Structure 1
Amino acid sequence: MALPRSTPESQGVDSVGLCEWVQAADEQVDSMHSLMVLRNGQVIAEAWWKPESAEKPHILWSLSKSFTSTAVGLAVTEGKMSIDDRVLEFFPDQAPEQPSANLRAMRVRDLLTMSTGHQDPPSLGDDQPWVDSFLNQDVPHKPGTHFRYNTPATYMLSAIVQKVTGETVLDYLKPRLFDPLGISNPRWDESPQGISIGGYGLFLRTEDIAKFGQLYLQKGRWQGEQLIPEAWIELATTKQVSNGSNPDSDWDQGYAFQFWRCRHDAYRGDGKDGQFCVVLPDQQVVVAMTANSRDLQGQLNLVWEKLLPAIKPQPLPENPSGLARLKSAVADLEATR
């Protein structure tokens, strides 16, 4: 079930500007693997740097977190849990003998917003079950008051979803998200305890990432069906906690429910090495990117500097020469750096 394709100009985007973005990404990002741009639900540009390809799944790293958040939202919608449930309630047999007041106070909401109260994220290894490692970590801060990026917190969300549904996050999402979007054969690595890792470990194709972003842009609606409640989409993508004050950093614009807020009133799912699903509601644009990048801010800067100026409010006259230039630019991309 492929997304529809159309020319950039028919969707109000300048082909020449898109071409300049692709070329800049090729020259400046070390190294791009793929990109796809949607406007109004239409794919207007797509590129893969060899040996990557349209059909090749790519590791998402922490972009996986946004999918785990979606599973939480669906479980909440189905009445299986609440974001105000306390974390310890789900694991009575794995709790420390004398849990601290801060650990007892920690809620699902705090896992979602990376404000668990940890100073140092728990280390998950082979020495004990991952849930036990998390629950035995010191919680010096009051939950909800201290943002600290925390991949084990996302694992706990996955473990909670599995507790309340009896399925891994992967299996739970298949009929509710992956199948309706036409995402086939998703793979999600598991912990030694058989729980989807949640915070990373998901493998999808570039177009699958784009579909996920488009679903969120459409407030959870897909082909006439409301897959995710609009209220959850709004909650999950709105700033929930502050994480800095630098106006030039896309990592200081606030954090939502496993989504980052961006400049330009955008939001994104975000993974190590440059895995991005950027949603720009004001422009009705979705950008999916995979990479092995050393400069994530630089990679995002190109979206703002090159793509945004190419987006116009109305359709443009077709530009055959500009489109030919774009197609030529994406035809022979090589991962040479």
Structure 2
Amino acid sequence: MPGTQTDVYFPPKGDWQRVSPEQVGMHPERLQAAVAHAQSIETLWTHDLDRPVSESVMMQEPAPYNEKIGPLKPRGGQSGIIVKNGYIVAEWGTPDRVDMTFSATKSYLSLCLGLAYDQGLIPNFQAPVRELVQDGGFEPPQNDRITWHMLFQQTSEWSGELWGKPDWLDHQRFTEHKGTKRDMKVPGTYWEYNDVRVNRASLALLRVLRQPLPEVIKTHIMDPIGCSDRWQWHGYRNSTVSIDGRDMVSVSGGGHWGGGLFIDCYDHARVGYLLLHRGQWQGRQLISEAYLDQALAPCRENPSYGYMFWLNGPQERAPSAPASSFFLVGAGANLVWIDPEHDLVTVLRWVQSDRADEVYAKILEAL
């Protein structure tokens, strides 16, 4: 019985053991009610993702800045899986479908930062980025003070243009004034969700690692945890740079203008399960706890945010979930809920984001 074994279960590649809810101490009817509720709150986005991306309030931009420069893919239907104690106890929809995941991609950038940290390439997140990255992107008067800590907590106030997109497109992102230029703040003093700056963080990481980020994360994380070979991480048609004589695509941190991570529920859940176990997988420490301590520490300017992970310390994102929960979050909505307190990982694809907490509450009622 899975609930009585002493060794922690880690699913091998190409296989993932399914158990009944009762085998892990869950109530089957209540769990099915949670699944049914998730299925009932499918996103209002159309399946053609070119249209909702351009029509979404938080992503609206004037021409020519609204041009899509990365690949897009029609979305699948509402899907998900629930993992308890490492075992799949529920799955629905088309969980094996490789779909766009939008800003959940940002958390994969955070993992790449952790790999650079663990390799000693970025030993101090409080150091200015320009000490390691001299590509003209971190110059005075605004950008020279920006640290890695600021970049990944989204408090950098980086100012400039990258891949044809100026940072002011995302000024005042979650307001009716989105895309309205504002006075810049001192770096490190103001939190603002901004995809241009995230893409600047991705390029800075590429400069330091000197290897395409998809290759880095595949070698050090995705392959060791048994992910499929079907996920893809895209950049833009104009985001190729040359490093050490090799052309490399600087990948995007989301699907705002296309691109980002395309992945299925199972691979998402494996990454969530790795994080649930503090970076350890079957006796191997793939990413250090020292890094995760920093990545999951709350931002002073926004306690619900870490290093491109959403946190639940204030229980604002998910009032029903434990404060120790954290999330990978992408528009659409694409969500990975990691609940260490209950040994739960839940992947939700294409739900109404403002109702996701209802699903979390119903899953917890099944314990």
TM-score, scaled relative to structure 1 = 0.78
The residue that corresponds to 1:326 in the other structure is none
Q: How big is the shift at 1:213?
A: 0.6
- Cα 1:5–1:241 change in 2 (3 A) is farther
Q: Which residue of the partner structure matches residue 233 of structure 1? A: 292
Residue among 333, 349, 353 paired with 1:296: 353
Shift of residue 54 of structure 1?
Answer: 3.5
Cα shift at 1:22: 1.5
Change (3 A) 1:74 1:127: closer
Could you list the runs of 5+ residues in structure 2 that have no partner in the other structure? 1-12, 45-76, 168-180, 241-248, 316-321
Kindly provide the CA deviation profile for residues 123-154 of structure 1, in whole angstroms up to 9, marking residues without a partner as x.
644489x9xxxxxx998212221110122222
- Specify the alignment match of 1:257 in structure 2: 307
The change in CA–CA distance for 1:74 and 1:261 in structure 2 (over 3 A counts) is: same
- Equivalent residue, structure 1, for 2:100: 59
Change over 3 Å in CA distance of 1:189–1:9 after alignment to 2:
same
Among candidates 145, 148, 153, match of residue 108 of structure 1: 148
User: What is the root-mean-square deviation of aligned Cα atoms in Å?
Assistant: 2.5
Between the aligned partners of 1:150 and 1:172, the Cα distance in structure 2 is: 24
Aligned residues: 286
SS in structure 2 at match of 1:195: strand
Aligned counterpart for 1:14 among listed residues 2, 6, 27: 27
Question: Which blocks of at least 5 consecutive residues in structure 1 are unaligned?
Answer: 131-136, 244-252, 312-337
CA drift of 1:3 comes to: 2.7
2:42–2:78: 8 Å Cα contact kept in structure 1?
A: no
Tell me by how many angstroms 1:43 deviates.
Answer: 0.9
Taking only the aligned residue pairs, the percentage that are identical comes to 24
Q: 2:360 & 2:33 partners in 1: Cα distance?
A: 12
DSSP-derived class of the 1:68 partner? helix
Q: Distance in 2 between matches of 1:198 and 1:259?
A: 12
Which AA in structure 1 matches 2:111? T
Higher relative contact order (CA 8 A, sep 6+): 1
The corresponding residue for 2:363 is 307
CA contact (8 A) 2:104 2:334 kept: yes
- 1:63-142 to structure 2, matched below 5 A, reads 63-81=104-122, 82-95=124-137, 99-100=140-141, 102-117=142-157, 124-126=162-164, 140-142=184-186
Mapped partners of 1:234, 1:45: distance in 2:
30
Aligned to 2:5: none
Match of residue 196 from structure 1: 251
Alpha-carbon shift at residue 237 of structure 1 (Å): 1.9
Q: How does 1:172-251 map to 2 (within 5 A)?
A: 172-183=216-227, 184-191=229-236, 192=238, 193=240, 194-200=249-255, 201-243=260-302
Residue 34 (str. 1) matches residue 75 (str. 2): no
Deviates more, 1:302-311 or 1:63-72: 302-311
Instruction: Return the structure number with greater helix share.
Output: 1
Kept after mapping to 2: 8 A contact 1:169/1:198: no
- Tell me the TM-score normalized by structure 2: 0.72
Q: 1:106 & 1:114 partners in 2: Cα distance?
A: 11
